[in-house]
Structure 1
Amino acid sequence: MDKVIVYYHKEMDTIDIWFGNPDDEVVSEEAGEGIILKKDKDGKVIGIEKLYVAKTLGIKQPLPVEVVVA
């Protein structure tokens, strides 16, 4: 995959960052407080999920989304 896909889920206050195909996820593994690694069948990390985004940043409302491509 030659692109990064980012999903922000307002209702769940999570952000998913994919640098592999999300359909290839077979395993999720907690890597630290509120950080989940998404892995494919070979154990390669293809995505990261951050839980409690607004809470972690001390924001009282859902985050606005801005897309920047560099």
Structure 2
Amino acid sequence: MKPIKIFFDKAGNTLNVWFDDPAKESISEETSEEIVLVKDKAGKVIGFEVLNYLSSHDLKELKKLPVETEILA
């Protein structure tokens, strides 16, 4: 299993989550809820981007981006 990669762009206020190599990105498909699905050439979802991830207040106060993980069985 490949590691999941998480990137937060403070300037763009976007959160990107990748399940595969970002270089494999071929097409992006925006949904109606400010979420962009990122797909490879075969159409497989390899990641997603959340637009306007934080409110303007939270963005100004941001020092660290907390990340919590849990494995469900």
TM-score band by shorter chain is 0.7 to 0.9
**Equivalent position SS for 1:53:** coil
Query: RMSD of aligned C-alpha atoms?
Result: 2.1
TM-score, normalisation: structure 2: 0.79
Q: Look up the match of 1:45.
A: 45
Give the Cα–Cα distance (whole angstroms) in 2 for the partners of residues 62 and 42 of structure 1: 40
Q: Percent identity?
A: 36
Q: Look up the match of 1:7.
A: 7
Relative distance call for 1:20 and 1:62 in structure 2 (3 A) is farther
What runs of 5+ residues in structure 1 fail to find an aligned partner? none
Count matched residues.
69
TM-score, normalisation: structure 1: 0.82
What runs of 5+ residues in structure 2 fail to find an aligned partner? none
State whether residues 10 and 59 of structure 2, in contact with CA within 8 Å, keep that contact through their aligned partners in structure 1.
no
Relative distance call for 1:53 and 1:19 in structure 2 (3 A) is same
Q: Does 1:34 align with 2:34?
A: yes
Structure number with bigger Rg = 2
Q: Which runs of 4+ in 1 moved over 3 A?
A: 66-70
